[in-house]
Amino acid sequence: MICPCCSGLEYKVCCGPFHLGEDNPPTAEKLMRSRYSAFAVKAYHYLEETLDPQTILTFDHKGNREWGDSVQFVKLEILNAEEIKNKATVEFKAYFNKDGIELTHHEISKFRQQGGIWYFREGKVQNQN
């Protein structure tokens, strides 16, 4: 299976090892891609494991799971990725289908690296249609 993150690689050598806990994403962009793939393959445990420990209590686990189960993921487009020391931002568009309608989620996500591991901190929706 080709990885849902749109890298063009096989899932088992791309995001699969991250989801199985065999490796950690080396960059914030790769973490973003692997989180998108986790939604696509329903690896919700990974979404929780990659949350910044400082923000984990504010994350809506149930809501994310319900949303992920209600859509079909089509593709991921990375618009910009920037890392400065232990902080990063990734702007992306996620394309998905819901009830037969193609929709787009445009977000700028913030990440933080702690102990050599990248974590998702927060996302700010730019537009969603």
H or E stretch at 68: helix 61-70
- Residue scoring higher pLDDT (8 or 56): 8
CATH number of 11-128: 3.10.450.50
Q: What is the distance between the alpha carbons of residues 32 and 19, in angstroms, rounded to a whole number? A: 12
Over residues 19-72, the pLDDT tens digits come to 999 999 999 999 999 999 999 999 999 999 999 988 777 778 888 899 999 999
Residue 36 has a pLDDT of 97
Over residues 82-116, the pLDDT tens digits come to 999 999 999 999 999 999 999 999 999 999 999 99
Pairing of strands 101-114, 87-98: antiparallel
